Amino acid sequence: MDSNLLNHDVVTEILLHCPFTSLLRFRSVCKSWRDHIDSEAFRKSHIQHHADDDNTRLLVQFSFRQDGASEVSMFNEKLHNNFLPASQEILDYHHTTDAVCHDAQVAGPSNGLICAYYRNSDAPVAVCNPSLGLIAILPMPPNPSSKSLEPNHHRALSHGFGIWFDEVAQDYKVVQLLTCHINGLNVMGLHLHASVYSKATNSWRGLTGVIDLGLCQFNPIISRCKNSAFAHWLAIDDEGIELILSFDFRNEGFRVLEIPNLVIWKMYWDRKIFAEGDDSFLVFFSGDGEGRPDWLDIFWLRIEGSMVEWNHMKRVGPFDGLFIAKALCERGCVVLQSRNNGQLLIYNYCDEKYVRCFEMKRDRPEIFEYRGNFVLP
pLDDT (tens digit, 9 = 90+) per residue, 165-188? Answer: 988 888 999 999 887 765 544 444
CA distances to 27, 287, 296 from 291, rounded to whole Å, are 54, 7, 12
pLDDT band at 230 (very low <50, low <70, confident <90, very high): very high
Question: What is the pLDDT, as a whole number, of residue 363?
Answer: 57
- CA distance linking residue 296 with residue 333, whole number of Å: 13
Tell me whether strands 307-316 and 296-304 are parallel, antiparallel or unpaired: antiparallel
Mean pLDDT of the region 344-363: 79
CB 38 within 8 A of CB 4: no
The arithmetic mean of pLDDT across residues 319-324, rounded, is: 83
108-112, 274-278, 299-303, 371-375: range with lowest mean pLDDT: 371-375
Distance of CA 132 to the CA centre of its chain: 17
* CA–CA distance, 340 with 230 (Å, rounded to integer): 35
Contact 230, 248 (CB under 8 A): yes
Instruction: Using the predicted structure, report yes or no on whether residue 189 has a pLDDT greater than 70.
Output: no
- Rounded to whole angstroms, the Cα distance separating 97 from 90 reads 11
Q: What residue ranges define each of the domains in the chain, with the CATH number in brackets?
A: 1-50 (no CATH), 51-371 (2.120.10)
Closest by alpha carbon to 144, among 82, 98, 97, 212? 212
Q: Are 164 and 172 in contact (CB under 8 A)?
A: yes
pLDDT bucket at 2, cuts 50 / 70 / 90: very low
Contacts of residue 39, defined as CB under 8 A and 6 or more positions apart, other chains included, come to none
Instruction: Give mean pLDDT, residues 284-301.
Output: 78
pLDDT-derived band at 23, boundaries 50, 70, 90: confident
Prediction pTM value: 0.81
pLDDT-based confidence at residue 214 (cuts at 50, 70, 90)? low
Other Cβ atoms less than 10 A from the Cβ of 340: the count is: 10
pLDDT at 280 over 70: yes
